Structure 1
């Protein structure tokens, strides 16, 4: 045990004397968090509610006679939920609607085919033609509104096939059924994380993974400087050398982690949640995963440059697929990103920031612990087989 602490204290003094190491470990993460949080704050909007302004939509009914125009569309557009968002404007023809969209008179246009109501009553599929405008948000909102309307109509068609035609008349009465449009927000009833919080968590985890490069540099320096021969001639076991170096670098990583958390809290107002003990546990597990992964790479790669490149590449890839560089769709993050260490760390920390219940956080911590257990086991058995030689 004395040998382990001696090696750890030497590593600790060596790292803290390096100015470049201190800049990379302590100042660079803060700078990246500031730049990313400031530049991309508009993307996340700090979890604030978004307001949708009303816009005009050109409505073209292809029916030859005014009496044959769709009553379903008319009743739908008069509903209070839709009227708050869409201001319908009647256009004489499709060409007039296209011209109005191009000139900016309409933000969107909808073409209602002739006999729309009759087709629905006869059991045919409900279809509309959309003409997109210049504003992406207006297109998305209008498309969602009318798609919801069509989905509701087609649902009623399916009910009619089962219950009979009389079901359509009962379900299409004005005011019946669920509202066509409901404005809401994500994470109802709880806080939402900001861009600074998101990138503070992402950069913290990325730099904790990169701390393994210090292990690689230290281990290979013993070989390159031929000091491993002298250490081997002393009563020091290879396992003690590994443990001492990992302990010293682990202490530096803990200091780095604490500095990032405290600095971002006071400089940028980053809220890390109300579970500091769980946050510390996630950070310790990430440090342990990084150290064991770097040791594992060091035992199978011949040169320090190649080992550092492998670890850096893995860190960048895992950070990207976990959504650490830019928010990715949940479908991707929860599939491909689940194979990265960062994914489980990000998931746990972000839920701590949102003050989620323990049941939603424990799964991420359990997965991190299993990853550390697997990496530690593989590193142990690899050392027993490969060893650490000059």
Structure 2
């Protein structure tokens, strides 16, 4: 009963504080808006990459029109590739190479004589592909024509090895697959914006700053000389300590929920498709923040000393994890890996990108281990030091 009474009192005291409401809820929301708007071109990916149409010079070495490749002509004019390449018939190889040098064309294809007849007789389909100046154009056009040749040669190999029946069975399945498909690797086709990145980063930083609430609560009873009076009442020291921690924990969870809800409603920040896993990681961050601050309080003689330590560690871990400014991956994954923010931030970003649970599980295990170590440290320290004047 004493624990719940103390927790309720702590909640009322914190909720009556206008300073807490401004610093722990309004300030992070404003920071997320400012950082997300000003650094949108530096952090995150606003959307999927677009592919520009490539001008392709096609040189068919067959002189007479009836002898030209009907298969290639039908392919380059088909609906599935017209958004990616724009074909131009060129008479000679020299003219195509000159157009590549001047930038008139982005890619060139040389069609050998008897291309169609070679295919019909069971031979291998081959084209001469000449690269242009632009790497992106070369990649786009090269993918289109490589897929064209691969499909023809696959059909030839299937027909020669398994007979015409196998080719007939494979045609419907292959027809359903586009020649070119855009997408993102390892993220379920999702991208994240600067607002999402800084929403996650600032959320974690202010959850660490919630440790200052723990520091203030624990030292307030000492500085106001009310701790001795409380101990003279039928209240155990452990009950007072646990009640205060529960009160601060509940208020911190409210802070976390407010930041997530406000950023989603006001700025459209998408927090991923695993809300329960997000809640679990936030709870682990709250536990880590509170237990770390408790350890600092136990070994600090004054509130100012404990506050300074929490401030320095919070800012330092946020910076080292890459949460304030983009840092090299080699730095973030080496030095940053020793911070709590690193494992939390990477997990939240992966949830935003719809990564598989297997990619998030290592972060969950590391955070759980860190929390267990910190909880063990608090239990051991409290038994040795205690909470008293």
Contact 1:53 1:85 in 2 (8 A): no
Q: How many angstroms apart in 1 are the aligned matches of 2:130 and 2:346?
A: 36
Identify the residue that residue 354 of structure 1 maps to in structure 2: 353
Decide whether aligned partners of structure 1 residues 52 and 213 sit closer, same or farther in structure 2, where only a CA change above 3 A counts.
farther
Offset, 1:364: 0.8
Identify the residue that residue 49 of structure 1 maps to in structure 2: 49
Offset, 1:185: 6.0
Identify the residue that residue 8 of structure 2 maps to in structure 1: 9
Decide whether aligned partners of structure 1 residues 262 and 188 sit closer, same or farther in structure 2, where only a CA change above 3 A counts.
closer
Decide whether aligned partners of structure 1 residues 53 and 337 sit closer, same or farther in structure 2, where only a CA change above 3 A counts.
farther
| Bigger Rg, which one | 2
Identify the residue that residue 333 of structure 1 maps to in structure 2: 332
Offset, 1:46: 1.6
Q: How many angstroms apart in 1 are the aligned matches of 2:186 and 2:49?
A: 11
Do residues 369 (structure 1) and 364 (structure 2) align? no
Q: How many angstroms apart in 1 are the aligned matches of 2:316 and 2:52?
A: 37
Structure 2 residue runs of 5 or longer lacking an equivalent are 55-100, 102-106, 109-127, 140-181
Offset, 1:45: 3.7
Identify the residue that residue 385 of structure 2 maps to in structure 1: 386
Structure 1 residue runs of 5 or longer lacking an equivalent are 55-73, 87-140, 146-182
Q: How many angstroms apart in 2 are the aligned matches of 1:35 and 1:27?
A: 12
Offset, 1:240: 1.4
Q: How many angstroms apart in 2 are the aligned matches of 1:26 and 1:52?
A: 44
For the residue of structure 2 that corresponds to 1:41, the secondary structure is: coil
Q: TM-score, normalised by structure 1?
A: 0.66
Q: How many angstroms apart in 2 are the aligned matches of 1:366 and 1:5?
A: 31
CA shift digits 1:312-344 (9 cap, x unpaired): 110101111111111222211111111101111
Contact 1:348 1:364 in 2 (8 A): yes
Question: What aligned pairs does 1:287-366 form with structure 2 within 5 A after superposition?
Answer: 287-366=286-365
Identify the residue that residue 277 of structure 1 maps to in structure 2: 276
Which stretches of structure 1, 4 residues or more, deviate above 4 A after TM superposition?
50-54, 77-82, 183-189
Q: How many angstroms apart in 2 are the aligned matches of 1:361 and 1:185?
A: 18
Offset, 1:388: 1.7
Decide whether aligned partners of structure 1 residues 50 and 325 sit closer, same or farther in structure 2, where only a CA change above 3 A counts.
farther
Q: TM-score, normalised by structure 2?
A: 0.66
Q: How many aligned positions are there?
A: 274
Contact 1:285 1:372 in 2 (8 A): yes
CA shift digits 1:344-381 (9 cap, x unpaired): 11111111101111111111111111111000101110
Q: How many angstroms apart in 2 are the aligned matches of 1:341 and 1:52?
A: 42
Q: How many angstroms apart in 2 are the aligned matches of 1:13 and 1:200?
A: 28
For the residue of structure 2 that corresponds to 1:42, the secondary structure is: coil
Question: What aligned pairs does 1:51-70 form with structure 2 within 5 A after superposition?
Answer: none
Decide whether aligned partners of structure 1 residues 245 and 53 sit closer, same or farther in structure 2, where only a CA change above 3 A counts.
farther
